[in-house]
Structure 1
Amino acid sequence: MISDQGIAIKFVLVILLYVFVSGDEEVRCIERERDALLSFKNGLIDAEFDDLSSWQNNECCAWNGVECSNATGHVIALKVNGVVVKDSGKMAYSLLELHHLKYLDLSVNDFGCIPIPESIGSMKQLQHLTIEESNLCGSVPPQLGNLTNLRILDLSHNFLSSISSFTLGSVLESLEVLKLSYNKLNGSIPDLKAFPSLKELHLGKNNFTGSIPLSIGHLSKLQLLYLSFNSLEGLVPLSIGQLSELQDLDLSYNSLAGVISESHFIKLIKLKSLDLSFNPLLILEIAPDWSPPFCCLSSLYLTRCNVGPYFPKWIRSQTNLSILDLRDAKIRDEVPRWLWSTSNLLKSLYLSDNLISGTIPNLSSTSILSMDVSYNQFSGPIPLFPANATDILLSGNMFSGSISSICQTIHGHLEYIDLSNNLLAGDVPNCWKNIPNLHSLNLANNSFSGEIPASLGTLHNLGALQMHGNELCGELPYTLRLCQALQMIDVGGNKLTGEIPTWIGQLYKLQILNLRGNKLHGEIPLQICNLTSIKVLDMSINNLSSIIPDCFNSFTVLASKDSTFFDLFLFDPIYIINEKKHNGYSSFQWKGKESEFWDNLALLKLIDFSSNRLTGNIPKSFCTLRGLISLNLSRNSLKGYIILDIGNMEVLDSLDLSHNQLYGKIPTSLAEIHNLGFLDLSNNNFSGKIPTSTQLQSFNVSSYAENDGLCGDPLPKCPGDSLRPSTPNPEENMNEKDGINFSFMQEVGISMAFGFIFGFWGVIGSFIWKKSWRIAFFNLLDAAGDWFYVRIVVFVSKWR
């Protein structure tokens, strides 16, 4: 009798022999399924990855994206990406022939905004269905509820608009992962009791409304819950605190309200990431001595929640924190000393927009790489940072003293420094070669003095240089021409001298140039017209003289009146830290007032040459700037007419030509700028009647004041208005008809030319044509010559 041990050994040998033999056999494609795949291919256009090029021979199990069972040869997995669906009906019908399909991935395709085919609900063997980012529209069909073996369903990054509770019925008890984020799903979140196996629920970036269903607490196996970026409101249910397996909880960017207490976390012992940010009506009422059930949070986001007024002490227990975000959390407290040593893993610390006070110690031995404590009440010197830090944002505080300590460390990874709006003073250090990868430097609104250091020219990746509102002197360093990545130079409000350098025209990526409020002199260089990408050009409040160069037709960005979605991202120096945009701010003259521009700075289109000593005419090329929003040429010595085609500047919102020596009539095309919200033509020599339009008559009298020859609404009526229609100026009509606008000196020159032609050549031509006139003229000249000779001789004799 064979022993049990012998039977077991023989059984193992038989299995191994089967595996060895079957491993040598090539899996054969089943003809019916091969035909179905070829029919499926005929409904597609392989546009992206060219994976379907291998679908040619008879062995479909060797085709790209196709996997067959080693035991049966049936197709069990299909992955097709990067195609355009030209016949959805044929595609869906062909898939039904794959009766053993368990894995179907049709992500990153273009379905042409069709609904999900209802026939997919007949593929009962499916365990994994992914149709992510495939341009699907319409509703999620209830037939998907028939897929009782489904464990993973991913329909994210589409344009799906609705989903019914029947779709998510108890036929889906095996579902473990449900991803519907980045769609347009609306209505309430369906009841969730029917998912006892669910581990991941992704519903973020939709349009869900209403409250979080209480049934969320029945998902006892849930590990990840993402409901961010919806319009959810109401209270956060206490049942969330029963999810003992939960690791990631994200309820950010909603309109949730009410109190979050210790009860919401009572069983969340495995919680690693918590994000309640951007729910401004959410209040955290946590006892100061609370000991959370979780110990190992790696990330905590409470931005714009009501956390304060005191700094939450329970954070001290989280020794694994890597990211701490308490921006705008209504904290009015002194920063606790333990914060800087709570976690050896802390890499990102964001405390901006609170009222936190205190000092910051030496951080060079910490793990902090990115820190934003802007707009608080921190004081003391600028701390030292680790050598591998990437972002240092300390603006809007009371830091004081020198920043020479920045020279003590080589920061090879540092990209963004913002020390603006503090009490810092002294020279700007000349050690920027130690920070070779710096992208943005903002030292604005401090008390820095001395010259702008030449070592800034070593920063070849520098995109934004903001130093306005200091006491800097000297000239712009010549080395800045080497910073070819510069898109923004803002050095307004200093004491810079010298002329505007011609090399500024070599910075071809420059979009914002602010030289406002300095002591610059000389002329505006012609090279400025090489800045084809310029959007903001401010040279106001200086001592610039001479004429304005007439070459603005080269400003291609300002020539476009359409602001596209791309414009939002055109300005690279805008940097993002945890979805908070920073591009500092700049101050400009806007509609007659000093205005600050923050996140909208990248969309501003402005030219300001005001308060200088500029002469000559208004350049005609201004009329090509169809996208310009604000033009200020006031307080100069400009002469001549307003350019007749000024109406081409269709989106102009602010126009200031006041305090010049301009004359003539206001061109009728100015009335065609329907967006004009601010106009100042005062203190000039304009004459004639103000053109009639809804726009020009809506401005105050002060917009036209101190122009003695100007009349018409809103000023007093012109003489004779009640008796007869106003008589147009013949000279202006002639110029408008010809499309020409001459200055006074140009008109004098033209008159002299015509006088010479008709006077001189008229006489000479007559002498040539008639001989008797010629003889009489020269006899007269001889007689006159003799008379002058006698008179001179007599005069000389008497004088002697």
Structure 2
Amino acid sequence: MASPFCCTTIVLSYVSIALVVAIFPTLGTGSTRLATTSALEMEAKALLHLGWWSSYSNDTCNRCSWVGISCNEAGSITRIDCSRFAVSGSISPQICALSSLEYLDLSSNNLTGELPQSLGKLTRLKELILSRNFVEGSIPSGWGNLKSLNQLDLSHDRITGPIPSTLGNLAKLELLNLSENQIIGPIPSTLGKLTNLKQLDLSFNQITGAIPPTLGGLTNLEFLFFTSNQISSFIPSELGNMKSLVELNLSKNKLNGLIPSSLSHLSRLRYLSLDSNHLEGPLPSQIGNCSVLEELNLSNNHITGNIPFEVFTCPHHTLDLSQNFIEGKIPHQFHNHFCLHVLDLSHNNLTGTIPDLSWRLEELNLSYNSLEGPIPEYLSSQFSSDSFWGNKYLCGNQPDFSPCPSTPINKLKIVNKLKFVEIIVPVLCFLAFLALGVLLFLRSRAKDNIPEPNVTKNGDLFLS
């Protein structure tokens, strides 16, 4: 039988355990409540500092019902959507107090000031959209801590400085849009680590340097826009590894070298624009492997050689090869499903006749080449004469063009040469006769001016 002392000890132990179980959860809850209350108070103060809801006075108790604000069950702000909300002023550094914030959209407002470094502390942020404002300064390197971010849009602002290499740490990023700013410096090679990226837009800035070959690792990228910068060097062949790419625009830069044939591996590519660069060499015939290509713009480069027939096998693409040094004939054979709506081959060195272009063309420009023969009637009725200007051996029913002669088409040059001979030969004959007459006249005058020599008589010198 247990002693009274042992029983007392057991009872006290159970009581102690019960007290621990009862008291500690209460203490924990109180601590959590205190912490939550403190965080909510900091959020309320941050909203007042932002000043974007001044019409609601200073009463922050009902902030979760304010326009553009969403909260979670604990009353903490998770979303701010003030797009087109007439927000002005700068972004207060105290915005970092909104620690639960996941979505921040302040696009199309009148925000000024610099991008705050403190935004890099919002590690739960998934979308950060500050486009179409007047914010300035450089992108803080600390924003590389936004590991949850999947959208970063700072387009149409006044951002300066380089792209920080730390943005390569945003592994979940799917959209990066920094277009329409004043960003300088090179494209960081670290952006090649953003393997979840679907859209990358750095267009309309002052970016220099080369395109990093590491970008070829962005196999989920669908849209790549670098237009209107100062990017130089060649197009890396690694871009051909972007198997998901739908649109590629590298126009209006300083790119040089050859067009890489690896671009033909982009089987989903619908839009390719490399115009207004310094690209040279021939067109790669493999470009015709882009079976879904709808628009191909290679104008205003230094491309040479012939037009590969394969280029015309793409079913629907706009084709602009103008302002190059392309020569030879326009291909006469086309794919059965070929349906080109816009064709611009102007300002090249093309020769031969105009091929059958009887499909439904909406725009045509063959001007300033060396094409010959008749302009087809169906083209004459559809397009004005400026589509054919600058081809001196073309003829047809168009203003500024001579009617086609009855002689065979291939004798048109001979006819023009005969006209040339008919004018030049008489002039040359006249000049020859004139020169001969002048020569004879000068010779006659020279003969008249020669003095007669003195004659010495034979015989006695003393005879008179």
TM range (shorter): 0.5 to 0.7
Opposite residue 345 of structure 2, the aligned amino acid is V
The answer as to whether partners of 2:284 and 2:308 remain within 8 angstroms in 1 is no
Q: Provide structure 1 residue ranges, at least 5 long, that are not aligned to the other structure.
A: 1-32, 45-57, 75-98, 429-442, 451-800
1:349 to 2:319 alignment:
yes
For residue 308 of structure 1, give the secondary structure of its aligned residue in structure 2: strand
1:715-734, aligned counterparts within 5 Å?
Answer: none
1:447 to 2:401 alignment:
yes
The answer as to whether partners of 1:284 and 1:305 remain within 8 angstroms in 2 is no
Higher normalized strand content (fraction of residues): 1
1:313 to 2:282 alignment:
no
What's the offset of the Cα at 1:239? 1.5
What's the offset of the Cα at 1:421? 2.5
1:323 to 2:295 alignment:
yes
The answer as to whether partners of 1:212 and 1:236 remain within 8 angstroms in 2 is yes
* Residues matched between the structures, number: 349
Opposite residue 274 of structure 1, the aligned amino acid is L
Query: After superposition, what is the alpha-carbon deviation per residue over 1:250-280, rounded to whole angstroms, capped at 9, x for unaligned?
Result: 2222222223332x33642322222222222
Aligned partner (choices 105, 112, 115) of residue 137 of structure 1: 112
Opposite residue 315 of structure 2, the aligned amino acid is N
- Seen in structure 2, the aligned counterparts of structure 1 residues 291 and 165 have a Cα distance that, compared at 3 Å, is closer
For residue 257 of structure 2, give the secondary structure of its aligned residue in structure 1: strand
> d(CA) in 2 for partners of 1:155 and 1:272?
26
The answer as to whether partners of 1:272 and 1:296 remain within 8 angstroms in 2 is yes
1:282 to 2:248 alignment:
no
Equivalent residue number for residue 92 of structure 2: 117
> d(CA) in 2 for partners of 1:321 and 1:328?
20
What's the offset of the Cα at 1:242? 2.1
The answer as to whether partners of 2:263 and 2:287 remain within 8 angstroms in 1 is no
What's the offset of the Cα at 1:117? 3.4
For residue 103 of structure 1, give the secondary structure of its aligned residue in structure 2: strand
> d(CA) in 2 for partners of 1:387 and 1:108?
46
Aligned partner (choices 153, 178, 190) of residue 215 of structure 1: 190
What's the offset of the Cα at 1:327? 0.9
Opposite residue 182 of structure 2, the aligned amino acid is N
1:763-782, aligned counterparts within 5 Å?
Answer: none
Aligned partner (choices 327, 332, 335) of residue 307 of structure 2: 335
1:213-292, aligned counterparts within 5 Å?
Answer: 213-262=188-237, 264-265=238-239, 267-284=241-258, 286=260
Opposite residue 251 of structure 1, the aligned amino acid is F
> d(CA) in 2 for partners of 1:202 and 1:232?
14
- Seen in structure 2, the aligned counterparts of structure 1 residues 130 and 391 have a Cα distance that, compared at 3 Å, is farther
1:104 to 2:58 alignment:
no
> d(CA) in 1 for partners of 2:142 and 2:205?
20
The answer as to whether partners of 1:370 and 1:389 remain within 8 angstroms in 2 is yes
Percent identity for Structure 1 against Structure 2? 27
What's the offset of the Cα at 1:197? 0.8
Equivalent residue number for residue 387 of structure 2: 418
For residue 239 of structure 1, give the secondary structure of its aligned residue in structure 2: helix
Opposite residue 121 of structure 1, the aligned amino acid is C
The answer as to whether partners of 1:217 and 1:243 remain within 8 angstroms in 2 is yes
For residue 232 of structure 2, give the secondary structure of its aligned residue in structure 1: strand
Higher normalized helix content (fraction of residues): 2
Equivalent residue number for residue 12 of structure 2: none
What's the offset of the Cα at 1:176? 0.6
The answer as to whether partners of 1:392 and 1:416 remain within 8 angstroms in 2 is no
- Seen in structure 2, the aligned counterparts of structure 1 residues 371 and 292 have a Cα distance that, compared at 3 Å, is closer
What's the offset of the Cα at 1:147? 2.0
Looking at CA atoms only, which structure, 1 or 2, has the larger radius of gyration? 2
What's the offset of the Cα at 1:195? 0.6
Aligned residues: CA RMSD: 3.7
> d(CA) in 2 for partners of 1:127 and 1:305?
41
> d(CA) in 2 for partners of 1:417 and 1:107?
47
What's the offset of the Cα at 1:293? 4.6
Equivalent residue number for residue 125 of structure 2: 150
The answer as to whether partners of 2:95 and 2:119 remain within 8 angstroms in 1 is yes
- Seen in structure 2, the aligned counterparts of structure 1 residues 393 and 107 have a Cα distance that, compared at 3 Å, is farther
The answer as to whether partners of 2:52 and 2:87 remain within 8 angstroms in 1 is no
Equivalent residue number for residue 298 of structure 1: 270
> d(CA) in 2 for partners of 1:420 and 1:105?
55
1:562-601, aligned counterparts within 5 Å?
Answer: none
Query: After superposition, what is the alpha-carbon deviation per residue over 1:188-220, rounded to whole angstroms, capped at 9, x for unaligned?
Result: 111223211111111122111111112112212
The answer as to whether partners of 1:391 and 1:416 remain within 8 angstroms in 2 is no
What's the offset of the Cα at 1:345? 3.2
Q: Provide structure 2 residue ranges, at least 5 long, that are not aligned to the other structure.
A: 1-43, 57-61, 405-464
For residue 139 of structure 1, give the secondary structure of its aligned residue in structure 2: coil
Query: After superposition, what is the alpha-carbon deviation per residue over 1:689-743, rounded to whole angstroms, capped at 9, x for unaligned?
Result: xxxxxxxxxxxxxxxxxxxxxxxxxxxxxxxxxxxxxxxxxxxxxxxxxxxxxxx
> d(CA) in 2 for partners of 1:165 and 1:405?
63
TM-score (norm 1): 0.39
Opposite residue 200 of structure 1, the aligned amino acid is L
Opposite residue 291 of structure 2, the aligned amino acid is T
TM-score (norm 2): 0.65
> d(CA) in 2 for partners of 1:285 and 1:339?
14
- Seen in structure 2, the aligned counterparts of structure 1 residues 67 and 183 have a Cα distance that, compared at 3 Å, is closer
- Seen in structure 2, the aligned counterparts of structure 1 residues 218 and 383 have a Cα distance that, compared at 3 Å, is same
The answer as to whether partners of 2:69 and 2:77 remain within 8 angstroms in 1 is no
